[in-house]
């Protein structure tokens, strides 16, 4: 038994993502208890409530209006899983009600809405966490651990991405699904944080480093438009339904520390899933797509002979799994060693960290400056693409605090210091 009470939690926006979050929350009853849920749609409320019944848990109070819900004094933290166009405004109002807030992943539509988020946090003293579960992936945490131990040397270049066949969005468009609508009208890295998040943590963004500038380039857009045609789906006027989103969006970020990051977004072509992870330093490299890590002096090299009889060296990848036993992150070792690694595995670590922040009134490990920096990739890539791949600069949402933030390393390890080891 833990020596604390579970954090009283509310959920706003009861779609599929709320369901998976709830499944993870049910797995850590000592950390979080859902006391309120909110959605505009009755059917979604009913579905969520039925999940409580199924698991034999006490039903939370249900609301249609989140402002009413925020009047419940018992609520400690609110998880916002509403639309990308609404969640930042809601998050500001939650903070103004004096409660911690955590938003689902997504990108911003403007730099202004991110400044508003920062101002809401700074003026109220509560924080906003992003529910970026991929920061808690086993490989991401292990590589972070190895980087902090110096195995990769000085970091030089990273890559990240979200490449996932979501061609079903052509049909989802007709159902009013938000991401499909964004894919029709916008042209940008729409969904950047799944791997930009862990990458930013590894590069200590907002803690001694920051994103400086980017260029972004869009390929032509064919996938969703073709799919809509194939399915006979037309636009509002009976014309061809054309999606604006380039099938592959490539963004290159330059950091204050001199590191570069290539970020790729591609959700409208058939292909296996990848988050394109790459972390490269002067001593080693991890690449998700090779499932390999190369560390100088640890990974093998062999000598071959070319056609003219001269020798050359072939460096070889070490499988990622070979490093688990020695380099798994302390957090992973503590909580996950004996669990399966389903989607929920990352989520429960993330939610434990949020609960600790709320309970101890400290900043969550992914804070409002991280939210702002990571989400700004979307509107900045949109700007660069609109300007023919012109470089555009990132605002410094910390107003200079990034230089000294994170310099005081934690004296003891806790959930909220997971990325600071």
In angstroms, give the least distance from the CB of 226 to its own copies.
Answer: 6
CA distance 350 to 137: 10
Q: With respect to its own copies, which residue has the nearer C-beta, 127 or 187? A: 187
161 to 190: interface string for its own copies, x by CB under 8 A: ----x-------------------------
CA distance 190 to 382: 9
In angstroms, give the least distance from the CB of 370 to its own copies.
Answer: 22
Does residue 222 interact with its own copies by CB under 8 A?
Answer: yes
Short-list 272, 276, 271, 270, CA closest to 289 = 276
Short-list 12, 395, 374, CA closest to 199 = 374
Does residue 317 interact with its own copies by CB under 8 A?
Answer: yes
Does residue 229 interact with its own copies by CB under 8 A?
Answer: no
Q: Do 389 and 216 form a contact (C-beta atoms < 8 A)?
A: yes
Largest Cα–Cα distance in the chain?
79
Q: Do 173 and 223 form a contact (C-beta atoms < 8 A)?
A: no
Q: Do β-strands 32-38 and 61-63 pair in parallel, antiparallel, or remain unpaired?
A: parallel
State whether residue 367 is helix, strand or coil: coil
User: How crowded is residue 337: how many other Cβ atoms within 10 Å of its Cβ?
Assistant: 9
> In the set 283, 335, 403, 421, which binds its own copies (CB under 8 A)?
283
Task: Please report the sign of the dihedral spanned by the C-alpha atoms of residue 168, residue 173, residue 176, residue 179.
Answer: positive
Q: With respect to its own copies, which residue has the nearer C-beta, 123 or 393? A: 393
How many residues bind to its own copies according to rule CB under 8 A?
Answer: 67
Site for its own copies in 335-394 (CB under 8 A): 342-344, 347, 388-391
Does residue 257 interact with its own copies by CB under 8 A?
Answer: yes
Q: With respect to its own copies, which residue has the nearer C-beta, 178 or 289? A: 289
Site for its own copies in 37-96 (CB under 8 A): none
Does residue 313 interact with its own copies by CB under 8 A?
Answer: yes
In angstroms, give the least distance from the CB of 98 to its own copies.
Answer: 31
Q: Do 147 and 188 form a contact (C-beta atoms < 8 A)?
A: no
In angstroms, give the least distance from the CB of 247 to its own copies.
Answer: 5
What would the two tokens of residue 82 be?
A: 């509403």
Does residue 154 interact with its own copies by CB under 8 A?
Answer: yes
Q: With respect to its own copies, which residue has the nearer C-beta, 72 or 287? A: 287
Q: Which residues contact 278 (CB under 8 A, 6 or more apart)?
A: 157, 158, 159, 160, 262, 285, 286, 287, 288
Short-list 221, 227, 268, 266, CA closest to 243 = 221
Does residue 319 interact with its own copies by CB under 8 A?
Answer: no
In angstroms, give the least distance from the CB of 319 to its own copies.
Answer: 13
> In the set 2, 239, 303, 310, which binds its own copies (CB under 8 A)?
310
CA distance 346 to 233: 37
The residues binding its own copies (CB under 8 A) are 16, 19-20, 22-24, 154, 156-157, 165, 213, 215, 217-220, 222-223, 226, 246-248, 250, 252, 254, 257-260, 262, 264, 266, 269-273, 280-285, 287, 289-290, 292, 294, 296, 306-310, 313-317, 342-344, 347, 388-391
């Amino acid at each position: 038994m833990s020596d604390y009470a579970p954090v009283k939690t509310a959920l706003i926006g009861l779609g599929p993502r709320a369901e998976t979050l709830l499944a993870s929350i049910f797995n850590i009853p000592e950390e979080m208890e859902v006391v309120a849920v909110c959605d505009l749609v009755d059917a979604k409320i009913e579905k969520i409530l039925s999940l409580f019944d199924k698991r034999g848990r006490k039903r939370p109070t249900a609301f249609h209006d989140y402002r009413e819900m925020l009047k419940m004094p018992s609520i400690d933290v609110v998880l916002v899983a509403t639309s990308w166009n609404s969640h930042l405004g809601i998050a500001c109002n939650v903070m103004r009600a004096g409660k911690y807030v955590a938003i689902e992943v997504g990108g911003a539509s403007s730099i202004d809405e991110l400044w508003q988020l920062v101002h809401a946090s700074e003026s109220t003293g509560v924080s906003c966490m992003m529910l970026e579960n991929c920061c808690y992936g086993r490989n991401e945490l292990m590589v972070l651990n190895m980087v902090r131990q110096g195995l990769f040397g000085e970091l030089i270049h990273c890559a990240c991405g979200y490449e996932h066949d979501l061609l079903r969005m052509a049909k989802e468009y007709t159902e009013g699904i938000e991401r499909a609508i964004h894919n029709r009208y916008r042209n940008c890295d729409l969904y950047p944080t799944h791997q930009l998040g862990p990458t930013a943590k590894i590069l200590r963004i907002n803690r001694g480093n920051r994103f400086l500038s980017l260029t972004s380039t869009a390929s032509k857009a064919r996938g969703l438009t073709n799919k809509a045609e194939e399915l006979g789906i037309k636009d509002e006027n009976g014309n061809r339904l054309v999606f604006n989103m380039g099938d592959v969006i490539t963004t290159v970020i330059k950091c204050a520390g001199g590191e570069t990051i290539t970020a790729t977004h591609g959700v409208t072509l058939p292909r296996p899933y990848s988050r394109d992870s790459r972390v490269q330093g002067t001593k080693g490299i991890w690449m998700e797509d090779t499932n390999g890590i190369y560390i100088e002096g640890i990974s093998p090299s062999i000598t071959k002979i070319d056609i003219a009889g001269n020798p050359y060296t072939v460096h070889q990848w070490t499988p990622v799994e070979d490093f688990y036993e020695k380099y798994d992150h302390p957090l992973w070792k503590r909580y996950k060693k004996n669990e399966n690694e389903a989607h929920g595995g990352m989520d429960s670590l993330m939610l434990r960290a949020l609960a600790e922040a709320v309970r101890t009134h400290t900043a969550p490990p992914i804070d409002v400056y991280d939210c702002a920096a990571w989400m700004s990739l979307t509107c900045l890539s949109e700007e660069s693409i609109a300007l023919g791949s012109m470089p555009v600069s990132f605002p410094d949402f910390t107003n200079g605090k990034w230089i000294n933030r994170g310099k005081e390393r934690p004296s003891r390890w806790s959930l909220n210091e997971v990325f600071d080891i």
